[in-house]
Amino acid sequence: MSAAAARAARTRAMLEGPIGPTLARLAAPNVLAMIVQALMSISEGIFASRLGVDSLAGLALVFPLVMLTQMLSAGAMGGAISSAVARALGAGSPERAGNVALAGLAIAVVSALLSAALMAGLGRPVFELLGGAGQPAEAALSYAALFFPGCITIWLCHATLSVIRGTGGMMFASLTLLFVSLVSIPLAGTFALGWLGLPALGMAGLALGTVAAHALGGMVALVYVLTGRAGLTLSGTRLQADMFNEILKVGLIASANSALTVLTIVLMVGAVGRHGKEALAGYGLGARLEFLLIPIVFGIGAAMTAMVGANIGAHQKRRALQIAWTGSVAAALIVGLIGLVVAIAPDLWLGLFLSPSESGPLAAGRSYFRVVAPFYSFFAIGLAMYFASQGAGRMLWPFLGGVVRISVAFGGAIYLSGTTDLGVTAVFVAIAGGMVSYGIFIVASILLTKWR
């Protein structure tokens, strides 16, 4: 088949194929790529632990902001690009889909430049505000000084892959992300620890590995789209105001929701940081796994975004809702199982980074998992519904769910810390309460409104 005919066949499958098998077929390569990406993040933590506790604490400081970049480029703006392309194709307008794709790439470039400028001016005050004085703050700054100027590679890579997902091309997008993740691991180790006789760049080397791997993946994805292999024609397209609006009306509120997710973690990092760097290092490892659940849900959510978007474009809202519930329940079951495992045996995760002699970080990490991990499924079902709502272009309720979560988590942490003697465990109880309220709020809102 020609590329355009293959793209049309993928769209038809999203509109007419059996929901469960079609969703599983689209999600499976995404989930595989996300698992390998999780391994990339695990390896980064291991490399940081080899550099010392200060570096591990510094990684805990910068990690929420790094993940925000990933969430905005792949999940928020990326999801908005994917859903806009899918809605255009579902409505039978491949020309409009091409225009949307071009606007999405332009948004990615501007977003990357803005991100780099903000971190250049605010990096040190942010890290110090979070309680990362001294060497942990310096380690975080070393990472950020390379990552954020180079994040344009990450934005362009994810924006282009989002265009491809919008056409139903999950396999190519997933294989590209798989390539990025596999390449990033040895690059990060080589640059950070000085393998193969190269200079050991420390924390900056970890960032360089990520940036370089996404540069390679972005080039592959751009060539695929620009040569027409995604089934879209970008030659002759032009930037149009309504194309930007089609993406930004979903992407801006989705970005605000992602910012709320990261702000929740950042505020909790600040609360935990008051208990010392060992508690911060232990919590940082717990929060790292929590963040890694997002890519796992994204593996299913990216398929839902495209399928829901295509069906909304074709005025098949009832089928779109069925897709949303099917994928969200599956995400909750998968992530909930992971949560139960680490709640029962937290050292399965913590032992990857810490030795038995590092009792302080181990105690904090164990406390986090035993209190918070049993409630991961609530976070997962709410986040999965967020991705489905992107496809529907209905982001108000997921955003409000994020507001509820941060209010319960931060407010609860302040209240419990001041009225109990639980210590850092009080912060973990509040985090768990925020997850439960987030999941219940979003599920209830979709049940009641049905995306009206």
Whether 324 is in a domain gets the answer yes
Start-to-end CA span in the chain (Å):
38
The total of other beta-carbon atoms located within 10 Å of residue 197's CB is: 6
Whether 8 is in a domain gets the answer no
* CB of 269 closer than 8 Å to CB of 50: no
What percent of the chain has a predicted confidence (pLDDT) above 90? 52
Whether 9 is in a domain gets the answer no
Instruction: Report which of 259, 279, 267, 290 is spatially closest to residue 412, judged by C-alpha positions.
Output: 267
**CB under 8 Å to 117, separation ≥6 — which residues?**
none
pLDDT at position 113: 95
Distances (CA, A) of 256 to 245, 250, 317, 354: 16, 10, 25, 34
Q: Which two tokens stand for residue 284?
A: 């940082």
* Regions in the chain scoring below 70 on pLDDT: 1, 130-133, 236-237
Distances (CA, A) of 96 to 8, 110, 116, 312, 355: 14, 22, 31, 16, 55
- In angstroms, the CA 208 to CA 193 distance is 12
* CB of 255 closer than 8 Å to CB of 263: no
Q: Which two tokens stand for residue 18?
A: 């059996």
* CB of 8 closer than 8 Å to CB of 230: no
Q: Range of 317's domain?
A: 21-449
pLDDT tens string 113-146:
999 999 888 878 877 776 656 788 888 889 999 9
Whether 11 is in a domain gets the answer no
pLDDT at position 338: 93
- In angstroms, the CA 154 to CA 113 distance is 12
Whether 281 is in a domain gets the answer yes
pLDDT at position 324: 96
Whether 13 is in a domain gets the answer no
Distances (CA, A) of 181 to 127, 188, 219: 27, 11, 15
The HSE-up count of residue 420 (CA atoms within 13 Å, CB side) is 15
Distances (CA, A) of 100 to 3, 164, 315, 450: 18, 12, 20, 26
pLDDT at position 1: 54
Q: Which two tokens stand for residue 191?
A: 């640059």
H or E stretch at 22: helix 19-51
pTM of the model: 0.81
The total of other beta-carbon atoms located within 10 Å of residue 20's CB is: 13
Helix (H, G, I), strand (E, B), or coil: what is residue 236? coil
Whether 303 is in a domain gets the answer yes
* CB of 53 closer than 8 Å to CB of 278: yes
pLDDT tens string 247-284:
999 999 989 888 887 777 778 777 777 777 777 778 87
Place of tokens 């505000």: 129
Amino acid at 217: G
- In angstroms, the CA 291 to CA 269 distance is 13
Instruction: Report which of 154, 179, 176 is spatially closest to residue 165, judged by C-alpha positions.
Output: 176
* CB of 177 closer than 8 Å to CB of 161: yes
- In angstroms, the CA 357 to CA 399 distance is 42
How many separate domains does the chain show? 1
Whether 16 is in a domain gets the answer no
- Indicate the DSSP class of residue 353: T
